[in-house]
Amino acid sequence: MEYVEHDIIEISARHFGMTWLAKVGNAHLVLTVDGMSDDDVMEQCQQIAEVCEAYGSPETLLAETRLEEENILKMRNELYGALMPQLAESLDLAVPPARVAEFLGRRRTHREGV
């Protein structure tokens, strides 16, 4: 599971001439689900969607084809290369799990100049 901010993943999508499927929200969780059968995978996806909805997610999207899955992974995995010309710092940060929300709040406040 990975967290990506919408504006950042959109930069990667444009860099590769692709379209990021999610149009709603400021951030996204990208999850890879695996199972013993397609039914097993779909059951897991349904459970994930229910949890996301319970916590206020506006939408849950699934890669419906192998190409969509490959494109999502390309945009995420090669994000650093797409952003490198615009960055002065590394994208890899280590934050204790219990402090992620605080870190993201401070980062957004700093970025917006509030």
Supply the pLDDT for residue 53.
Answer: 93
The tens digit of pLDDT for each residue in 53-94 reads 999 998 899 998 999 999 999 999 888 878 777 765 655 678
pTM: 0.66
Distance CA(15)–CA(81), nearest Å, equals 9
pLDDT, position 93: 72
Residue 19 has what pLDDT? 92
pLDDT of residue 105: 83
Domain ranges of the chain: 2-88
Q: Rounded to 5 degrees, what angle do the CA atoms 49, 20, 70 make?
A: 80
Which DSSP helix (H) or strand (E) runs through 27? Answer: strand 27-30
**Cα–Cα distance measured from residue 76 to residue 8, given in angstroms and rounded to the nearest whole number:** 10
- Indicate the Cα dihedral angle 56, 3, 84, 72, nearest 10°: -90
How much is the average pLDDT of 30-53?
A: 94
- What confidence score (pLDDT) does residue 104 get? 80
- Indicate the SS3 state at residue 77: helix
